[in-house]
Amino acid sequence: MSSHSKRANIGRILIGSLLLASLLASPLTARAQGEAPNDTITLTLVVAGFDLDRPLYVTAVPGDRSRLFVVQKPGQIRIVTIQSGVYTLLATPFLDISSLVSTVGEQGLLSMAFHPDYATNGLFFVDYTNNAGDTVVARYSVSAADPNIANPASASIVLTQDQPYSNHNGGQLQFGPDGNLYIAFGDGGSGGDPEQRAQDTTTLLGKILRIDVDSATPYAIPADNPWAGSTIVRPEIWSLGLRNPWRFSFDRLTGDMWIGDVGQSTWEEVDREIYGGPGGINWGWRCREGHAVYDPSPSCPSPQQPQLTPPIYDYNQTGLLCAITGGYVYRGSPNSPHFGRYVFVDYCNPSNLLWMLAPSGAGGWVRTDYTIVPPPGFTLSFPTSFGEDAIGDLYVTGSANNNGAVFKLNLRPTTCVAGNYDVNGDGAVTVLDILQVAGDWYRTDYIPDLDVDCDTVVDVVDVQLVAAAVSGAD
């Protein structure tokens, strides 16, 4: 069935389902508990054979379940197609800007972000270090002739930032749930933030920015940015006091921002910002590294003062640990025991450990440790980044067998779980769940959790069951 026909039928399906719900006589099954947490997380190989440590990020177009986009440090973006569980790396790059990109130290093509309306406007954004060693955020568009090839001539510079050193570039781009583009900048490099740029509100370094790329060219300042309209503070700034927020992400269910900020020599930290806040958070660097005092000078607020916000979690660089690789809150399957946990790792981890944070129930957070198990014949070392696909499954990039590779984290239940009608995992069965199931009406690549009766197809019965659960909740 075509997508147009499917959409045309959704309204009729919903009306019929809601009417039929009241006629269903069978009792509703309680929410399934899923599998018990394991002490290992297995990986599935997506693609290998990149140059050592060259894949730095993986992402997907919103709503597109058929492709992954792999960002390579030297300046290429590659496409991996997904069909019936088979991954295929396309030979022709989606975009190749290698001639524009410096790869000295931590420089390179560092990430990309698709516009939320990419399906209609074809726009995406990249963050790279140019040949002068400075950060460039640029906008591109897909070519008119081939959805798997971008138009290199469409480049439009959004902003540039001088970089005093070759490290601590940050580089992550993410569109937030508010539709604005968020950009991470490190403190400019060297060690110890010698010019105290992270606390200097006249520079973009050591900050996360928030800009509106739709209302003006090259961008506008959102009216509710914390320093919008200021002539003293850079109005692009959303939060400050960061050393090197190499990776940050948004929880696709709650909208909360999670930041993995790489520490100096002792503490690595995880920061969490609740969605809907006013921004303006000062995460503390270089006054603090993690929860600990780093700079005791009079220019820094004391750790007890409210001007500095502590991380929700930090860990010490012991046992050869060296740098946090920030991740994502897993939202791929509400039937998974890992649903709602923040997944992260350390870049220098010598023991193949993967970590997850979950609320402790007492206002704090508890870490659970897992061992990463790559497929037979493969290893995973120096994990550079996590990524999320269109349905919330997570991926990790890094070095495998002396070559760069992308792996999928196997976090879904191994078998279908029937009877859970809260298919979006928000804690309630509502019309939103009906809409999500109806949206997969007879798709051959349906999301497994939407087959709520586990009969290998998403059909009217699944919609009826969820609609009945909604009616019962009323």
Short-list 55, 76, 77, CA closest to 67: 77
What's the confidence (pLDDT) of residue 320?
A: 87
What's the confidence (pLDDT) of residue 472?
A: 77
**Cis amide leading into 286 (omega within 30):** yes
- CA–CA separation, 179 vs 118, rounded Å? 12
Contact between 317 and 369 under an 8 Å Cβ cutoff? The reply is: no
Contact between 436 and 448 under an 8 Å Cβ cutoff? The reply is: no
pTM as predicted: 0.91
- CA–CA separation, 365 vs 39, rounded Å? 19
Q: Give CATH superfamily name and number for 40-409.
A: TolB, C-terminal domain (2.120.10.30)
Contact between 384 and 371 under an 8 Å Cβ cutoff? The reply is: no
Sequential pLDDT tens for the chain (474 residues): 333 333 334 343 333 433 333 323 333 333 333 455 568 999 999 999 887 668 999 999 999 999 999 999 999 999 999 998 899 999 999 999 999 999 998 999 999 999 999 999 999 999 999 999 999 999 999 999 999 999 999 999 999 999 998 899 999 999 999 999 999 999 999 999 999 999 999 999 999 999 999 999 999 999 999 999 999 999 999 999 999 999 999 999 999 999 999 999 999 999 999 999 999 999 999 999 999 999 887 778 766 666 899 999 999 998 889 999 999 999 999 999 999 999 999 999 878 899 999 998 888 899 999 999 999 999 888 999 999 999 999 999 998 887 899 999 999 999 999 999 999 999 999 999 999 999 999 999 999 999 999 999 999 999 999 999 998 765
In this structure, the strands spanning 247-250 and 288-289 are: unpaired
- Domain definitions of the chain by residue range: 3-32+418-473, 40-409
